[in-house]
Amino acid sequence: MSEKAPLLHYRLSTRGDDPDTDAVVVDTGPRTSRSGRGSGKSPKKLGMVFGVVIPTLLSMFSVVIFLRVGFVVGQAGLFESIAMFLVAYLIITVTVLSVCAISTNGALDAGGAYYMISRALGPEFGGSIGIMFFFANVCGSALYILGLVEAIMSAFGVPAATNALIGAGPQQILPSGYWWSLFYGTALLFICFIVCLVGAHIYAKATFIIFIIVVTVLVSIFVSFFIMKPLEVKLHDASVHSNSSLLTGNFTGLQLRTLESNLLPDYKVDYTTGTMMNFATVFAVMFNGCTGIMAGSNMSGDLKNPSYSIPRGTLAAVVTTFITYNLLTLLAAWSCERHLLQRDYSFLGDINIWPPLVTVGIYSSAMSAAMSNLIGASRILYALSKDGLFGGILAPAKKTSRSGNPWASVLVSWLLVQVVLFAGKLNTIAGIVTIFFLLVYAAVNLACLALEWASAPNFRPSFRCFTWHTCVMGIIGCLVMMFLINPINASASIAFMLLLLMLIHYLGPMSNWGFISQALIFHQVRKYLLMLDVRKDHVKFWRPQVLLMVANPRSCIGLMTFINDMKKSGLYVLGHVKIGLLDDLPSDPLQSSYDSWLSLVDHLNIKAFVNLTLAESVRRGVQNLLFITGFGGMRPNTLVLGFYDDCVPEDRLRGKILKSAGCRLDAAGSTEGLSELRTPFFPNVRGPIETKDFQEVEYVSVIADAVKMGKNVILARDFHRFHRDTVIKSGKKMGRKSAAGQYVDVWPLNLLRPDHRGYVDTCSLFLLQLASVLHDSRAWNQVRLRLFLCVESECRMQEVEEAKLRVMLKELRISAQVHQVAWDQVVALHWQKQRSSGDTRVSGESERSVAAEEAAAEEDVQRKFPTNAAQLTDDYIGAVNHLIRQHGAPQPAVRFLYLPRPPADTNRYHAYLHQVDLLSRDLGPTLLIHGVTPVVTTDF
């Protein structure tokens, strides 16, 4: 789906036939016929009067002004009638303000209100409302045809058998009955179909002629109220539904006594349907006279300048009809007895100076309104089919003539109107049509409200006579009136709209229209980020906010999905450093990579941001990301790195095809690139003989930098062997009552500091917190935690230590199995080395002179950088590694190990990395964790 001219494209050009050769011409791209073929002759466009004012006036006058003014006054009285018009016009006026604002904000294509809503609120909301608006116009067209048939039968139809007491006039020769009425309606609808099928220019000429007729009739009606003398009118449409025996009604002329008797409401049974009237039902019928405000907007694709014509033409029509309706209401209440108003809806013809003239006006306005709704429905259907929201279902409706007239949409609309004609009763359809139009009006106000609240710089309509208050007023007014008219129909229509919305969301294609939700989210996120004060941070509300450094996504799929499970609704950022300098490049090489990264995020279904940087070294790039990633209180507090070893990376994306959900807009709004299936654009994984981007010292320096910056550090090893699906399936099969299943092993002791026996330090608690966070995630809640407590078998304090640990776990609300691990023999290796080193110093006095400089340097380093890790042997670390593997049955899904702080002496970086490598070798997926921030508390 593409948007034609999403923004105006400007071109400076001159016209040979323009006297002003310096004029600036606004061009919206090459002109093509709507069928997709070039046309030598572009279709004629309509101006404001013929395209907006006249269609809107005729749609709003229509049947209501001739057949329902007396009905409204007779049932509701003058006061409530005026109140109804005020409420109705308040709702439509604020809606018109919203329409004016949207229509004057950039280019406007075919579809009218549907186009405005869909481009503002997105395809889901726009498509569902578009279908509702289409059906509203279809039902509206049927409504006016039925009104016309009712008027014809009133004047020329043979009275029914139930009205045999009333003699038939010489002109009443047409057969009556349901099927005859259906036949007449079908014939009239076919005439409207032929006019709309020819094209918009013929429709405009026809409506202009009808407009002249209607204006003439209205003038005669106003004159008649003043010059006609009092007379008695036969109620030739009396019905058995009424209990009254009066067969006549009186036109008294302008008398105060008549006005006083018509001030208050007097609801009675409607003689055409036999239904008891009330405020809601009368308002539903009356409101149909106001629903024509979209007649001009529906013609947006056929207008020369929609942004100019729609606001001015619609407002002019609304003001004119409001004055006309209220004047007619006042004059009818001032001159006609209530019985006449309630029992003869065509009384305006009976009291006119020339009665046939009103009949001509009724027929003309009804035909015009029916045509207006029919052509409006066809334009909406054509816009829906062009956008492809419903796939191939609406594809046939896209066919057009060489002049651009969507004849297929006109045909489909005509057939649907014909189906609605079977309902047969004017007032029955009126309530449904009113509900649909009110829902569309509410959506237009919502679209304008969303654009206003989003505060997007590109929303700057030239029409500024609106605020968010008017939009909210319009939404509330429409919804309230919907439920006042018919709560059941209102609820059903909203449910139908939501059903369509979900269908389009899950089954419809992607669009490049832009999403108002993104603008609203940005606006709100910015506001709340400013409110997120880092000075108010508290350990009780700590959550992991992770920056995962990814060298190549092809080899990091397992780790990326695992960290997504461990983030606990916190910030998750995928970071990548590309080596290079911007000075040496013509443009930023990273911009073209974002789409592939975001497509990968969608493919993996992870909730992560992507942040790429260009730097001269990996260390400098990581520093940059740690400094600049995030905003305010949403900044990474934990850095995750892959492990530095000789493992050859595996390509986990080989043969994978990613679906890109991104949208690339070119100048013409092309659909190229939408929902595109593509192979991920990432470099190939490093081969066995290829060198790495950085060396061991730089790798440890990155760890040290992060610790200095107050960031927690996690080293992830062997996650190429991690398969999340296996863990999840194992958890589901395990069940809560089974003893077998996956485990997460936690070793909270610093195993590279055998002389340090404490379990309650910042790093250990951070390690326990992360294990608990992982266990609490939905995918890992079936996995069990195993906590290993290293003790010496001869130590008398082992039971006390275990009891303290269990109390701490209980206070921290962490559920874990505690296992004691005797490591006397492992620790003995370390102390034996210490004693042997001391003996060597005593017995090797003769050798001191040979290595005096080395010993002095060693002692100097130890004084400056005291660390026990420097004195560890490979035998001891290997024994610790064997101990971990020995207590790893069954094989855990992940292991959590204590990562010591990097040495301060950079000369020890190689030894540090070597020791960590020996410690974690062949353990399977392992996290080596160093925490520097407090993360747990029992103070709640």
Please choose, from the candidates 226, 299, 364, the residue with its C-alpha nearest in 3D space to the C-alpha of residue 49.
299
Report in angstroms the alpha-carbon separations of 906 from 626, 873, 912. 21, 19, 10
How do residues 777-831 score in pLDDT, each as one tens digit? 888 888 888 888 887 766 655 666 677 777 777 877 778 788 888 777 777 776 6
* 157-171, 435-449, 890-904: segment of lowest average pLDDT: 157-171
Q: Is 436 exposed, middle or buried (0-12, 13-18, 19+ CB in 10 A)?
A: buried
Helix (H, G, I), strand (E, B) or coil at 109: coil
* Residue ranges in 262-354 assigned as alpha helix (H): 279-287, 295-298, 306-335, 338-343, 347-350
pLDDT of 272 over the 90 cut: no
Helix (H, G, I), strand (E, B) or coil at 820: strand
Dihedral sign (CA 200, 206, 207, 208)? positive
Distance (Å, whole) CA 192 – CA 380: 17
What single-letter amino acid sits at 488? I
Which of 54-63, 252-261, 369-378, 480-489 has the highest average model confidence (pLDDT)? Answer: 252-261
Q: What mean pLDDT is reported for the chain? A: 78
Q: Is 860 exposed, middle or buried (0-12, 13-18, 19+ CB in 10 A)?
A: exposed
DSSP secondary-structure letter at 667? T
- Both tokens of 860, joined, read 């100097």
What is the 3 state secondary structure string of 244-312?
A: CCCCEEEECCCCHHHHHHCCCCCCCECCCCCCECCHHHHHHHHHCCCHHHHHHHHCHHHECCHHHHHHH
Instruction: Give the CA count within 13 Å in the CB-facing half-sphere of 541.
Output: 8
Helix (H, G, I), strand (E, B) or coil at 408: helix
Report in angstroms the alpha-carbon separations of 795 from 268, 335, 598, 747, 791. 98, 111, 55, 19, 7
- Mean pLDDT across 336-351: 86
**DSSP H or E segment with residue 136:** helix 123-156
- Residue 709 pLDDT class (50, 70, 90 cuts): very high
Q: Edge-to-edge, what's the strand order for the sheet holding 894-898? A: 609-615, 572-579, 546-549, 638-642, 712-717, 926-930, 894-898, 743-747, 784-791, 817-822
Please choose, from the candidates 545, 603, 602, the residue with its C-alpha nearest in 3D space to the C-alpha of residue 575.
545
Report in angstroms the alpha-carbon separations of 413 from 365, 369, 404, 770. 20, 15, 17, 61
- Contact by Cβ (8 Å): 605, 611: no
Distance (Å, whole) CA 911 – CA 897: 18
Phi-psi region of 245 (alpha: psi -120 to 50; beta: other; left: phi over 0): alpha
Say what the pLDDT of residue 533 is. 78
Dihedral sign (CA 724, 728, 733, 737)? positive
**Angle, alpha carbons 663-667-670 (nearest 5°):** 50
Residue 47 CA, distance from chain mean position: 35
Which of 222-236, 352-366, 799-813, 913-927 has the highest average model confidence (pLDDT)? Answer: 913-927
How do residues 618-668 score in pLDDT, each as one tens digit? 999 999 999 998 887 888 999 999 998 888 888 888 777 666 554 433 333
Please choose, from the candidates 437, 445, 440, the residue with its C-alpha nearest in 3D space to the C-alpha of residue 474.
445
Say what the pLDDT of residue 863 is. 47
Say what the pLDDT of residue 940 is. 36
Please choose, from the candidates 54, 237, 64, 51, the residue with its C-alpha nearest in 3D space to the C-alpha of residue 144.
64
Dihedral sign (CA 861, 866, 870, 875)? positive
DSSP secondary-structure letter at 462? S
Distance (Å, whole) CA 287 – CA 292: 10
**Angle, alpha carbons 195-196-199 (nearest 5°):** 95
How do residues 311-342 score in pLDDT, each as one tens digit? 889 899 999 999 999 999 999 999 999 888 88
Render 727-774 in DSSP notation, one character per residue: HHHHHHHH-SS-S-S-EEEEE-S-TT-TT-----SHHHHHHHHHHHHH
Helix (H, G, I), strand (E, B) or coil at 930: strand
Prediction pTM value: 0.68
How do residues 195-240 score in pLDDT, each as one tens digit? 888 877 788 888 889 889 989 999 999 999 999 888 888 875 444 4
Instruction: Give the CA count within 13 Å in the CB-facing half-sphere of 853.
Output: 0
Q: Which residues pair with 789 in a beta bridge?
A: 820
**DSSP H or E segment with residue 139:** helix 123-156
As a dihedral over the C-alpha atoms of residue 489, residue 490, residue 496, residue 502, rounded to 10 degrees, the angle is -160
- Mean pLDDT across 396-414: 82
pLDDT of 17 over the 80 cut: no
**DSSP H or E segment with residue 574:** strand 572-579
- Mean pLDDT across 373-380: 85
- Residue 589 pLDDT class (50, 70, 90 cuts): confident
- Prior bond to 890 cis, omega within 30? yes
- Mean pLDDT across 380-408: 78
Distance (Å, whole) CA 14 – CA 16: 7
